[in-house]
Amino acid sequence: MNSWPGSQYRFYRMNRAFREEGIRKGRNTGRAILTNTGISTYNKGTNREESGAMGVDKRYEIFCELLKTMDEGVDAIDEYDSLLHDYHGTVLYQAESQIIKAVGDQPGITASELSREFHKTNSACSQLIRKLKKKEWIRQERNEKNNREYNLYLTDEGKVIYKKHEDFENACYERTYHMLDEISEEEMRTYIRIQNQLNRAFKLDVEESRQLSGNGRAD
């Protein structure tokens, strides 16, 4: 059994989306970071920090280790996303099961709303929806307010798959939760605070890169 369900999966997909825009903080070859001890770059290929003239202090080394550990988690979810999973007798890709869950949680959701939720293109979402419709797990109804859009609902068989996914997800959460038994509540809150700060940095990098893309600048 794997342990990347629901919100865990979406959290790592979000961080992966930041990385795919080429602006993950403190990583990738040649990206320089200014610190209070000088300039350093983190080279993922060699898993080492290359320090400037002023050197790198211990705190900065821990920071680089933190980013490296996060990368390992993102790489793991990348691989997980590409594999088939057995939801109590029903074999699906993670992306398919997530669409089923989203439609089950939000009856009437549209393809464009799904694409925004999962950071996918409209065409990628439409392809998944067609596949699930062919399996008769999802049905669609034309939107009364917008003839160009369809609202999505689970079929009776789709609801069975939804329940299987829910049971699988609950079991995954239970296992992951107990793997953290030795982690105190204070440590978990510290991790949340650190991750929130990192997410602020990631989003700032994303916004800067989007502005650059909008200006059409490229070397």
Question: Does residue 51 surpass a pLDDT of 60?
Answer: no
Contact 68, 75 (CB under 8 A): no
pTM: 0.66
Does residue 219 belong to any structural domain of this protein? Answer: no
Q: Of residues 111 and 3, which shows the higher confidence score?
A: 111
Q: Which domain holds residue 143?
A: 90-175
* Rounded percentage of the chain residues whose pLDDT exceeds 70: 72
Question: Does residue 13 surpass a pLDDT of 70?
Answer: no
**pLDDT (mean) for 88-97:** 91
Reported confidence tier of residue 217, pLDDT bands at 50, 70, 90: low
Give pLDDT tens digits for 15-29: 555 555 444 444 443
Is residue 53 domain-shared with residue 26, that is, in the same domain?
A: yes
Does residue 107 belong to any structural domain of this protein? Answer: yes
Question: Does residue 91 surpass a pLDDT of 90?
Answer: yes
Q: Of residues 217 and 153, which shows the higher confidence score?
A: 153
Does residue 127 belong to any structural domain of this protein? Answer: yes
Question: Of 5-9, 68-72, 144-148, 163-167, where does mean pLDDT reach its minimum?
Answer: 5-9
pLDDT value of position 72: 94
Is residue 102 domain-shared with residue 64, that is, in the same domain?
A: no
Question: Of 12-16, 19-23, 74-78, where does mean pLDDT reach its minimum?
Answer: 19-23
Is residue 112 domain-shared with residue 73, that is, in the same domain?
A: no
Is residue 145 domain-shared with residue 188, that is, in the same domain?
A: no
Is residue 58 domain-shared with residue 113, that is, in the same domain?
A: no
Does residue 5 belong to any structural domain of this protein? Answer: no
pLDDT value of position 96: 93
Does residue 25 belong to any structural domain of this protein? Answer: yes
Q: How many domains does the chain have?
A: 2
Contact 128, 99 (CB under 8 A): yes
Question: Of 30-44, 148-162, 179-193, where does mean pLDDT reach its minimum?
Answer: 30-44
Is residue 72 domain-shared with residue 120, that is, in the same domain?
A: no
Alpha-carbon distance of 167 to 175, in angstroms, equals 13
Is residue 71 domain-shared with residue 95, that is, in the same domain?
A: no
Alpha-carbon distance of 59 to 208, in angstroms, equals 26
8-state DSSP, 49: E
Alpha-carbon distance of 111 to 48, in angstroms, equals 43
Does residue 124 belong to any structural domain of this protein? Answer: yes
Does residue 73 belong to any structural domain of this protein? Answer: yes
Is residue 28 domain-shared with residue 64, that is, in the same domain?
A: yes
**pLDDT (mean) for 99-104:** 96
Is residue 103 domain-shared with residue 41, that is, in the same domain?
A: no
> What CATH number does the domain containing 138 carry?
1.10.10.10
Is residue 99 domain-shared with residue 23, that is, in the same domain?
A: no
Does residue 52 belong to any structural domain of this protein? Answer: yes
Contact 28, 44 (CB under 8 A): yes
Is residue 135 domain-shared with residue 191, that is, in the same domain?
A: no
DSSP states of 131-180: HHHHTTSEEEEE-SS-TT-EEEEE-HHHHHHHHHHHHHHHHHHHHHHHHT
**pLDDT (mean) for 53-69:** 81
Give pLDDT tens digits for 160-204: 999 999 999 999 999 999 999 999 999 999 999 999 999 999 899
